[in-house]
Structure 1
Amino acid sequence: MNIYILTAGILCFALGIAHSILGEYLIFKSKRHKRNLVPSKGSVELKERHLRILWATWHLASIFGWCIGAILIKISLDHNESNSGIIDFMLMIIMYAMFLASILVLVGTKGKHPGWIVLLIIALLLIIAN
């Protein structure tokens, strides 16, 4: 078992959970009518259809994070030498994706969104694991 990859996978799950819960509470809570799952209170600046796709995309990021987390956890538990080429490739691609995502969030939010830190930690754990 590779503890660094396992930790990176767990962080992906935790980040996705925090992302969805905090997004619902801080961003979308005031944008929905009572008892509606999908927010639909549009405005002049943000039409209802744009708000709906923004909400779906918000949660899509969390789902992708959970999928990446599941892949990392599986790799951490089952890593063997017979398939190391493809595993190393997958880890490298995920590491680059997390590093670039970290930079994107850092620049896009001027460092005010803490998600960039977790994304960077995930990338660093994957560098250490390799």
Structure 2
Amino acid sequence: MNIYFFIAGILCFLLGIAHSILGEYLIFKNIRNKEKLVPTKETIELKERHVRILWATWHLATVFGWCLGAILIKISILEESQLIDFIVNTIGLTMFLSSLLVLIGTKGKHPGWLVLLAIGIVLIIGT
């Protein structure tokens, strides 16, 4: 078992959980009608349809993160191969670029960039 790939996979799941829970609490609670799952309150800047797609996209990032986590956990128990190397390197590069994007986009104020960077580093160590 490659423990580094396993740790990276678990970090993907934890990041996704934190991302969705904190997003619901910090971002979407004030623009949601109490009885609805999807936020629908318009703001001065956003129409209802914009709020809805923002919410969906927010949680889509979580689902994609969980998918990558599942792939990494499965890979952690498989024999090494060129395909596994390609997948891990691609996910690692994705995590590094995502980390950079969040770092630049939030001027380092959103802690997600650190977790994305940590996942990328753990994947590089594991290869």
Q: Does 2:121 correspond to 1:124?
A: yes
1:77 CA drift (Å) = 1.5
1:44 CA drift (Å) = 2.2
Q: Detail structure 1 runs of 4+ shifted over 3 Å in the superposition.
A: none
Amino acid at match of 2:7: T
1:1-22 CA-partner distances (Å, limit 9, x unpaired): 0111100000000000000000
Output aligned runs, 1:24-39, within 5 Å.
24-39=24-39
CA RMSD, Structure 1 to Structure 2 (Å): 0.6
Corresponding residue number in structure 1 for 2:22: 22
Corresponding residue number in structure 1 for 2:48: 48
Instruction: Structure 2 unaligned segments of length 5 or more: list them.
Output: none
Secondary structure, counterpart of 1:40 in structure 2: coil
Instruction: Structure 1 unaligned segments of length 5 or more: list them.
Output: none
Corresponding residue number in structure 2 for 1:88: 85
Amino acid at match of 1:108: G
Q: TM-score, normalised by structure 2?
A: 0.98
Count of paired positions: 127
Corresponding residue number in structure 2 for 1:104: 101
Q: Distance in 1 between matches of 2:42 and 2:15?
A: 28
